[in-house]
Structure 1
Amino acid sequence: MRKLTQAPNLAIATVWADCLNRAGIEASVQRLYASGIAGEIPPDQSLPEVWIADDGQLDAARALLHELQHPRERRRVCQACNELIEGPFEQCWNCGANMPGL
């Protein structure tokens, strides 16, 4: 078992571990409730951590984590009305035309 990263909070750690598990990389969250003793130990030592079970999947886990932390920016121009569409929208908010997939 190997530590992949620390997360800023339990919710983010859980999302990252779930995404890794769905990708076939067995992951777990450690230090789930260590934030309760943050005043007795240094705060950075009480953050939740994401661990992976198979050391051989470390590079794949790091690559997926990087994608999760740095999502692609989605900017497209509607072909019907030339409106700039930012984000995951499937339709142009201005004219309602369907946006082509990425």
Structure 2
Amino acid sequence: MRKIYQAANLFEAQILRDRLEAAHLRAEVFNAHAHSAAGALPVTEIYPEVWILEDNDWDLALRVLGEYQAELQAGNQCERRCQKCGEMVPGNFASCWNCGTELAEDC
């Protein structure tokens, strides 16, 4: 078992775990509820972590992680303003994260 990623939040960790499992790799998220210990533990100890269960899957897991990070980077480079509520929305979103309005075009 090896840690492959320390996520900024639980949502991000779950997305990566799901992508790993879609590639037929067994993975788990640890520290899913550690945020409740904020203040009692160092902040770096409460971030969710994604671990792959089989060491032999490491190379493929790194490729899946690289693809995920490339998509995040591409989405973060292009933001749009929602025409309904005015919030900035990452380029990889199909609808506004704030009000749910569907966005007309992708970046």
| 1:43 corresponding residue in structure 2 | 43
Alignment correspondent of 1:15: 15
The alpha carbon displacement at 1:62 in A equals 1.0
The alpha-carbon deviation at position 59 of structure 1 amounts to: 1.3
Report sequence identity in percent.
37
Code of the residue aligned with 1:6 in structure 2: it is Q
Which residue does the alignment assign to 1:56?
56
Which amino acid in the other structure matches residue 64 of structure 2? L
Q: How many equivalent residue pairs? A: 79
Distance 1:58 1:35 in 2: 27
What is the distance in 2 between the residues matched to 1:30 and 1:64?
Answer: 19
Listed as ranges, the matches of 1:1-102 within 5 Å are 1-71=1-71
1:39 to partner: Cα distance:
0.6
Deviation, structure 1 residue 25: 0.7
Paired amino acid for 2:21: N
Greater gyration radius: 1
Q: Secondary structure at the match of 2:16?
A: helix
Give ranges in structure 1 of 5+ residues lacking alignment.
74-85, 88-92, 94-102
Displacement of 1:63: 1.2
Q: Which has the higher helix share?
A: 2
Q: Distance in 2 between matches of 1:50 and 1:44?
A: 14
Mapped to 2, the partners of 1:44 and 1:2 lie a distance apart of: 18
CA-to-aligned-CA distance 1:37-64 (integer Å, 9 cap, x gap)? 0211110110000011100111110111
SS of the equivalent of 1:70 reads helix
Could you list the runs of 4 or more consecutive aligned residues of structure 1 that deviate by over 6 angstroms after TM superposition? none
Question: Any gaps of 5 or more consecutive residues in structure 2?
Answer: 75-90, 93-103
Alpha-carbon RMSD = 2.5
> What residue is the counterpart of 2:80 in the other structure?
none
SS of residue matched to 1:8: coil
